[in-house]
Structure 1
């Protein structure tokens, strides 16, 4: 006689401590679950999450209340020609020659500077000393902002991520997130006006000058995009770098393969995005009644897409609970494009515009760590643990190595 299992609660302490066991129960027994506390329909199978990202009936209208209060109106909320034009205004900076010529040197320099600060010590916390600082420093340099403001940037994006993941509606978390919009606007809008008057060779100046079909971005458009870039680019790359290194440290044979061949960093990153993705949940909103997960979701409902669960779906991936940079069912060739066979960057028209920037940051950062610290190993003591529900990553990653000058 089959055992009846209870539906996991995505707001429970048990879920926060280890969501992966709960993900299996959801996929097997509750592929479509209405979650009363978040007033959303939760989907956990790969096929259903993929559909929610690709099919037009699943809109991003939820970002009107989820993102706009902290960022302003962003490209993620737009559709049709408005979205196409805004994407055409910002996308060129994050691909091809612009990325190679303008930003790779920035990425290389920031990786080297951060590693040089601790390589002589013999120990480090790769979360605090590297991962949390690296992507924010890169973005600040790209935008031509003062890196002395790093702590402010980090506080802002942490508050915004807290607001986005505030599924339990904690009023203090909500208030902290809302304060960032005014603080960031007060900081950035005067700088935008300065760049319009006296452009430089930075990304912020390029955004001020960008024009497509007679359309240019307003100061508010640019501010909202930069807020989104700092949050999405900082939080996700931060967590991806530390998770990738941690996954390799836990699998010494794969670490040795990556040390010997740095071209394997790309598949190691792709597998990290699948196995321990930085973003575990993304929401969508239905434009009409839609069949999903063996049931029906009504028009106007919020759908919570569990990326972390979809990436462990045995219907899609062989042996999904095993970290394997050589797996045959995940292509590193397409992993950073709209043809990706994972869901970490979403899919469809809202595929992450910064995916190639994230790839460049992670590949350069990990390569420089492995070169500078050839005997990098876990430090003795408690094992690092993951934290978070909406986004998820390591709280700390203590390592040891032979000091180098």
Structure 2
């Protein structure tokens, strides 16, 4: 077992500026670190993170979410296990896969993307973060739920507070208070709408959640509110950063951008490689149910384990030239990249694999395709260099681009 002093601390400015050199040191010489400030055990190798996520032996739980996410969301599906988890997942999953996603919500995705692009396609310039990525997934989720998109700024403010709370590794009391306040405000906003949909259901996801029933079990108002809160935060933040990162990576590799522009069937490859190379979520935590042997030592029972997805996805024992962005690599399987059989770790694995993975794929394929149609000669603004920000979640701070203006 290694000590945190051997590598840059995950709370340090050096780590926040660029975590990848620290990830390399961790994987090679400090694969298991006890981090005093967060009272957690940090793991960074692919084999260890994969083992934690798949958890075939029942050694890792999500009990850490009792203190990590319940204060801002309420009790969510992520905290459940066994039959209770299976039933709740069966209640929400149909909207995020298959025919319902394609027939009911793909038009919603296409419309929201087009509306955002129409606002700047004629100008010849845009910031793909501020003008598109931060707005697109939140608008889609609000539209899917049948909420008023005019409340976008409130939704964005709420999910920003939630993500800040989840990434509050230093324990800033102001961030904690803002997160707790968000839970109250979101509940006050959602409960009247949920009651209305129960009485007068519409053709939207929120109405479907109100009516869904599996094995005689239905979701309570609190269940639905907590799921919507989780959906806005997790679906907004991750897709936001994924779309920005795809373009940041492609703009840094013009030959690959040209290939995607010519062959849109490569968009899933670009997405999968971005999830591996610059994942939106860099850390996911679990809690041990018993003493567990991992690379570098033993983690005691009842301990929090911080899984570094950003480190594991660049493990040279799993991927060749892991620090190279390559949408054509043959050691990343695109056909399974958006399922529980994925070989990258950005969506987690096992029973808690991201339920919204296919929604994210649909959003990315639509959004990237429409953006390339609107900006065929897309290029970075003069002198611009990508600066990533975030530790728990991470993505480009801004992405100003130029292109030839085009009419809608």
- When normalised by structure 2's length, the TM-score is 0.98
Say whether residues 1:314 and 2:316 are aligned partners: yes
Task: Name the counterpart of 1:300.
Answer: 302
Task: Name the counterpart of 2:393.
Answer: 391
Say whether residues 1:21 and 2:21 are aligned partners: yes
Task: Name the counterpart of 1:240.
Answer: 242
Task: Name the counterpart of 2:352.
Answer: 350
CA distance in 2, matches of 1:384, 1:6: 28
CA distance in 1, matches of 2:218, 2:331: 42
Summarize deviations over 1:338-388 as a string: whole Å, max 9, x none: 000000000000000000000000110000000111001001123120000
Task: Name the counterpart of 2:140.
Answer: 138
The alpha-carbon deviation at position 294 of structure 1 amounts to 2.5
CA distance in 2, matches of 1:58, 1:263: 37
Alignment map for 1:37-116 (pairs within 5 Å): 37-55=37-55, 56-116=58-118
The alpha-carbon deviation at position 399 of structure 1 amounts to 0.1
Task: Name the counterpart of 2:287.
Answer: 285
Contact residue 8 and residue 25 of structure 1 kept, 8 A: no
Task: Name the counterpart of 1:269.
Answer: 271
Contact residue 249 and residue 378 of structure 1 kept, 8 A: yes
CA distance in 2, matches of 1:14, 1:382: 22
Cα RMSD (Å) of the superposition?
A: 0.7
Contact residue 267 and residue 325 of structure 1 kept, 8 A: yes
The alpha-carbon deviation at position 10 of structure 1 amounts to 0.5
CA distance in 2, matches of 1:280, 1:291: 23
The alpha-carbon deviation at position 189 of structure 1 amounts to 0.6
CA distance in 1, matches of 2:368, 2:338: 17
Secondary structure of the equivalent of 2:316? coil
CA distance in 2, matches of 1:7, 1:171: 27
CA distance in 2, matches of 1:247, 1:369: 15
The alpha-carbon deviation at position 6 of structure 1 amounts to 2.2
Contact residue 8 and residue 26 of structure 1 kept, 8 A: no
CA distance in 2, matches of 1:42, 1:246: 28
CA distance in 1, matches of 2:107, 2:247: 22
Alignment equivalent of 2:213, drawn from 206, 211, 218: 211
CA distance in 1, matches of 2:118, 2:106: 18
Secondary structure of the equivalent of 1:333? helix
- Structure 1's unaligned 5+ residue stretches are none
Alignment map for 1:144-223 (pairs within 5 Å): 144-223=146-225
Task: Name the counterpart of 2:341.
Answer: 339
CA distance in 2, matches of 1:173, 1:17: 21
Contact residue 384 and residue 400 of structure 2 kept, 8 A: no
Task: Name the counterpart of 1:372.
Answer: 374
The alpha-carbon deviation at position 178 of structure 1 amounts to 0.9
Contact residue 30 and residue 296 of structure 2 kept, 8 A: no
Instruction: Give the number of aligned pairs.
Output: 401
The alpha-carbon deviation at position 277 of structure 1 amounts to 0.2
Task: Name the counterpart of 1:35.
Answer: 35
- When normalised by structure 1's length, the TM-score is 0.98
CA distance in 1, matches of 2:135, 2:385: 22
Summarize deviations over 1:219-277 as a string: whole Å, max 9, x none: 00000000000000000000000000110011011011101110000010000000000
CA distance in 2, matches of 1:155, 1:320: 35
- Structure 2's unaligned 5+ residue stretches are none
Secondary structure of the equivalent of 1:118? coil
The alpha-carbon deviation at position 181 of structure 1 amounts to 0.3
Secondary structure of the equivalent of 1:190? helix
Secondary structure of the equivalent of 2:334? coil
The alpha-carbon deviation at position 284 of structure 1 amounts to 0.3
Secondary structure of the equivalent of 1:106? helix
Contact residue 386 and residue 397 of structure 2 kept, 8 A: yes
